[in-house]
Amino acid sequence: MKTIGLIGGTGWASSAEYYRLINEKINERLGGREYAHCILYSLNYGDIQRLKINYGEEGVLAMLIKTAWNLINSGAEGLALCANTMHLYAEKLQQQIDVPLIHIGTATALTVKKGRVLKVGLLGTKITMEGSFYKDNLKKHGIETIVPSLNDRNYINSIIFDELFHLKFKKETRKRILEIIDVLINNGAEGIILGCTEIPLLIQQKHTDIPLFDTLDIHSTAIVDFALT
pLDDT at 75 over 90: yes
Phi-psi region of 56 (alpha: psi -120 to 50; beta: other; left: phi over 0): left
**Contact indicator for 14, 82 with CB cutoff of 8 Å:** yes
DSSP-based three-state secondary structure for 41: strand
For the chain, give every domain's residue range: 4-103+218-227, 105-214
Fold match between domain 4-103+218-227 and domain 105-214: yes
Per-residue pLDDT tens digits for 58-72: 999 999 999 999 999
Which range is most confident: 34-43, 126-135, 157-166, 196-205? 34-43
pTM: 0.90
Please determine, looking at this structure, whether the domain spanning 105-214 carries the CATH number 3.40.50.1860. Answer: yes
**Contact indicator for 195, 217 with CB cutoff of 8 Å:** no
Phi-psi region of 37 (alpha: psi -120 to 50; beta: other; left: phi over 0): beta
Per-residue pLDDT tens digits for 178-227: 999 999 999 999 999 999 888 988 999 999 999 999 999 999 999 999 99
Task: Give me the pLDDT at residue 38, please.
Answer: 96
Per-residue pLDDT tens digits for 131-146: 888 899 899 999 999 9
Candidates 3.10.450.50, 3.40.50.10420, 3.40.50.1860, 3.40.50.1100; CATH matching 4-103+218-227: 3.40.50.1860
Question: How far is Cα 97 from Cα 86, in angstroms, rounded to an integer?
Answer: 16
Question: How far is Cα 34 from Cα 37, in angstroms, rounded to an integer?
Answer: 9
Question: How far is Cα 178 from Cα 85, in angstroms, rounded to an integer?
Answer: 21
Question: How far is Cα 224 from Cα 229, in angstroms, rounded to an integer?
Answer: 9
